[in-house]
Amino acid sequence: MSADEHAIQTVERLLDVLDLDATQARTTEDIFTGSSHPMPSGRIYGGQVLAQTLVAAERTLPEDRAVHSMHGYFLRPGDASQGITIAVDRIHDGRSFSTRRTQAYQNGVPIFSMIASFQDADPGVEHAEPMPSGIPVPEELVPDEDRVPGLAGGARRMLSDRAADIRHVDSPLYLPNDDARVPRQAVWMRLRAPLPGDQRLHRAALAYLSDMTIQESILRAHGVSWSLPGLKVASLDHAMWWHRPARVDEWLLYVQESPSARGGRGLATGRVYTREGTLVASVAQEIMIRVPADR
Q: Is 146 helix (H, G, I), strand (E, B) or coil?
A: helix
Taking the CA of residue 35 as centre, how many other CA atoms within 13 Å lie in the half-sphere pointing to its CB?
9
d(CA 9, CA 134): 34
Comparing CA positions, the residue from 219, 238, 239, 235 lying closest to residue 227 is 219
Cβ atoms of residues 82 and 107 within 8 Å = yes
Measured CA distances, 283 to 96, 100, 218, 245, 288 (Å): 23, 19, 14, 15, 17
Give me the catalytic one of 52, 103, 211, 258. Answer: 211
Please confirm, yes or no, whether 285 is among the known catalytic residues: yes
Query: Chain centroid to CA 93: how far?
Result: 27
Please confirm, yes or no, whether 79 is among the known catalytic residues: no
What is the Cα Rg of the chain in Å?
A: 19
Comparing CA positions, the residue from 281, 258, 273, 113 lying closest to residue 207 is 281
Give me the catalytic one of 48, 185, 210, 235. Answer: 235
Please confirm, yes or no, whether 217 is among the known catalytic residues: no
Catalytic residues: 211, 235, 285
